[in-house]
Structure 1
Amino acid sequence: MNLTLFDLDGTLLPFDSDHAFGQFLVDHGWADGADWAARNDQFYADYCAGQLDQAAYIDFATSAWRHRPLPEAEAMRERFMAEVVRPGLHDNARSLVRRHQAAGDLVALVTATNEFVTAPIAAAFGIEHLIAVELEREADGRFSGRIQGVPSFQAGKITRVRAWLSGLGHRWEDFAETRCYSDSPNDLPLLEAVSHPVATNPSPALEATALSRGWPVLRLFA
């Protein structure tokens, strides 16, 4: 059995789901208009530059919905899925996932976006295992705006993957081949850790790295 790990935003999706969900909440009056949108854009720019303050971003990004009743937030998330995410699912991306599943690979979606946003997206791709940023809850069940545990971001993705594998009774070293698909230099630690890195719809910086190292470059949305 082989291990296949997929990044989400920019890799299987042609946009960033975290940033897009924030803009969706602005568009529907859940966040404070232009000022909130500008901060959302700045956090996204920081992410692209590899300089994201993950804790500050989670506090900001969840602030638009975490104080609302959970069923109301979930209903808005389903509108986001119906109006933004599902129309953005590409056959090439879904076929790639299915191909690895059909080959018997252990497949996981490993994303720096939080679990609230990404759980239904993983389900839409038919991916059982989701490794996402986990959100802390207060004693009454409300989301606190803080991260629980190690965020699945940059080198934290390796920590989280190893912990997930251990929970399944596996070790990284058990797999004949390990593969990672990603578009972002933020995932260089994970790409460097696998036996088969694939730069997928890569940013210019990641594409330059991939070409210099002889990694394959895959374009799903061309």
Structure 2
Amino acid sequence: MHAAYFDMDGTLLKGDSNNFLTAYLLKQKVIDEKFLEPLQDFHLRYAKGELRIEDFVYYIIKPFIGMSKDERDRLIAGTLTEGGLIDNIRKGGIAEIKKQQQQGAVVMIVSSTIDCLIEPIAAALGVKYTAAAPLEYDEDGRVTGKLAGLVPYQGQKVTRIKALLDKLDLSNDHSCAYGDSINDYEMLTFASQGFLVRPSDKLLEKPECRAMPVLQWD
């Protein structure tokens, strides 16, 4: 049995899960256009690998702070369906997940996106295990505005993967990883075999990554 690690945004998903979320929240009048203004700068810093991920997470969860769990779940479900997120999962990624599962792999989705968004996406893809931005929830399931642990971003992806491997009593031997950006570099090189999915130019600057197979999933 081996492990297979999949990044979400730009790898399994065409685009950014947070963009799908904010577009749906805007449509539902939960946020306004002004809320979107800082996001471009966040995304530019992310692409360069220069983002302080906690700053972004604290910003993106603001609309959910104090919101009931039922209302949050409704908005997340709407993002996946009416908002079109699931329709934009790459077919090649879906096929690769199924192939890995058929080969006995324990599949994990590893993403810095908030856990209350990643977990329903993973469930829709038939994936049981995730490592995502861990939000703190109160006794009624409301987002408090705080983090409950380490956000899997850059080297912290490996830290979270190791914790999950320990929990599941699994080894990293014969593992594989799939990523697209410089923020996946540590995960890709930690795995026994890395695969680049429509890789960014910045990721391809890394000599180790230039030797990895490139996948052009649709």
TM bucket, shorter chain: over 0.9
Matches within 5 A, 1:1-222: 1-33=1-33, 35-83=34-82, 84-138=84-138, 141-172=141-172, 175=173, 177-209=174-206, 213-221=210-218
Percent identity, aligned pairs only? 27
Tell me the distance in 1 between the aligned counterparts of 2:90 and 2:151: 27
- Structure 1 consecutive aligned stretches of length 4 or more whose deviation exceeds 4 Å: none
Change (3 A) 1:17 1:110: same
Tell me the distance in 2 between the aligned counterparts of 1:87 and 1:140: 31
**Structure 1: gaps spanning 5 or more residues:** none
Native 8 Å contact 1:114 1:134 kept in 2: yes
Native 8 Å contact 2:20 2:85 kept in 1: no
Q: CA deviation at 1:100?
A: 0.5
Change (3 A) 1:212 1:158: closer
Q: Secondary structure, in 3 states, of the residue corresponding to 1:30?
A: coil
CA deviation profile, 1:52-84 (whole Å, cap 9, x unmatched): 222221121011123222211111111111121
Q: CA deviation at 1:7?
A: 0.4
Tell me the distance in 2 between the aligned counterparts of 1:148 and 1:39: 24
**Structure 2: gaps spanning 5 or more residues:** none
- Coordinate RMSD, CA, aligned: 1.7
Change (3 A) 1:210 1:216: farther
Instruction: Give the counterpart letter for 1:107 in structure 2.
Output: V
Tell me the distance in 2 between the aligned counterparts of 1:180 and 1:144: 32
Q: CA deviation at 1:89?
A: 2.6
CA deviation profile, 1:106-139 (whole Å, cap 9, x unmatched): 2111111110111111011111111111101245
Change (3 A) 1:193 1:6: same
Normalization by structure 1: what TM-score?
Answer: 0.91
Q: CA deviation at 1:38?
A: 1.3
Q: Secondary structure, in 3 states, of the residue corresponding to 2:31?
A: coil
Native 8 Å contact 1:66 1:73 kept in 2: no
Instruction: Give the counterpart letter for 2:4 in structure 1.
Output: T
Q: Secondary structure, in 3 states, of the residue corresponding to 2:71?
A: helix
Q: Secondary structure, in 3 states, of the residue corresponding to 1:170?
A: coil
Q: CA deviation at 1:200?
A: 0.8
Normalization by structure 2: what TM-score?
Answer: 0.92
